[in-house]
Chains A and B, each alone.
Chain A
């Protein structure tokens, strides 16, 4: 009887824990929604989404978020331009060419690369990558998009390479054997057979990596600057959505001011963008996972 009673008690305790854990989501949504609502009572939604000047801290104030989005996009495009080709080549090497020993030597290195805190990458961008760029392009500003994009690229590289490696490994060996039996070279097998067959999961990896890059904060705060602007150059100072939030919280902002609320409006936008990408990415990964097993 006692142990039957314990059974019910344990069940209840566990249920409470799971509810607490899951409340996080509800609270995030409710909170971002509530504070953003207050913000949008003062600033019209269309002005926020399509305005091209972001000057919330200085008079005359202006709340067009596009400069922050453009800054973020620069980081995202730059980092994926570096990480995608490199990541695919690394994944191909690990999955198709490397010996077992080489594989087990390289994978931990990539894990370490993935485990280095982002503030360290920020420091690296500022004190190593930026000076390097400035010797090549002397006109580059101290804070610039290129440097941050490069380190964010390094940061998401392990994610892309390991997800793509998983995708290649999940393919049945018969696929490779079939192609080799027709006299194909390793290049042809990797590029014309393996890569297209794993396309859905490679796509998912890219989407998840993009979402990581959008949300990346410390490297861009340290290296990319605090100048929200609509421009196309990579060698000048910019500001991303995340860096803006940090900038505001570094100052002592009163809880009821519009500056405080802008953080949540920008946060909501960030949340929606990353959530959509994560849902799509995770969906593709689980879907293809089921297909293969």
Chain B
């Protein structure tokens, strides 16, 4: 092949790569633009302060928003201590052998398991077996199971990034293992762990399928007063509206999506901030 021909092929390929990349960026902007165009007219204070309604002009996301906040709060309370403790154990205490490698693989598989299977699990265990019914408990416990492996993996990575020389330095001063772990390793790993926690919780915040499974899809025109109350959540409310045939409800769904995306964006910005400002070890 002639040199000029090869050169032309190279240029074509470069433009193809560029084009694909800008297409992906373009899709994001089209998606955001579409959602805002459809939803912005529904977005006002009333929308935030109204309960769901059969009449689109009177419908709002109050109970869904409050339900989501409850859910994420409870999920954080359950999953953060458990997952960080697990990560510490796996990184700092567990022996390194074949079983631990199998465990590690298992963790990666749990993190990649389809979320609807967590829904099936929550339905059978929490809703039916423990008889928690369609309560915030059921939803939060289900979401906790879902985010656990994700946070454990992130926290393990953060703990591993603390250099071994720090541990040796502390041990050489006669520190016990728990002192090394809690006073040296954990503070060093904290920014990384927090980033992982925030990203995992923002994933939980957008989860829909497992919540539908444990029964969040009901018409809720009141606010939950405690974790044993029934609930709905923002993504579930969005699904509910999007699944209806009427145009107006699609607009409401778009309005809900705007609120959800703003919440997620805030969380993610927090994660980025922590990652850049507080990280001590690379």
Contact = CB atoms under 8 A, between A and B. Distances in A.
A–B interface present (Cβ within 8 A): yes
Given A112-B28, A113-B24, A282 B105 contact: yes
B25 A109 contact: yes
B98 to A, nearest CB: 14
Contact of A278 (B27, B112, B209): B112
A37 B27 CA distance: 44
B202 interface: yes
A187 B11 CA distance: 8
A215 B207 CA distance: 13
A222 B117 CA distance: 18
Interface string B220-251: 00000000000000010011001100000010
A127 B36 CA distance: 13
A118 B31 CA distance: 13
B117 A271 contact: yes
A110 B178 contact: no
Contacts of A279: 105, 109
A120 B260 contact: yes
B114 to A, nearest CB: 2
Interface residues of B, number: 88
A14 B85 CA distance: 5
Contacts, number: 247
Contacts of B235: 117, 119
Nearest to A34: B124
A89 B16 contact: yes
Given A6-B178, A14-B85, A18-B85, A215 B115 contact: yes
Interface in B162-184: 176-179, 181-182
B89 A119 contact: no
A217 B238 CA distance: 15
Interface string B69-93: 0000000000001110110111001
Contacts of B217: 250
Given A15-B89, A117-B235, A242-B209, A20 B121 contact: no
B278 interface: no
A12 to B, nearest CB: 10
B209 A217 contact: yes
Interface stretch (A25-33, A60-68, A73-81, A227-235): A25-33
B82 A20 contact: yes
A236 interface: no
Nearest to A124: B31
A148 interface: no
B21 interface: yes
A106 B208 contact: no
Given A208-B112, A282-B108, 14 more contacts: A14-B88, A18-B86, A20-B86, A89-B21, A113-B28, A116-B261, A119-B235, A120-B206, A185-B7, A185-B9, A249-B213, A263-B120, A275-B109, A279-B105
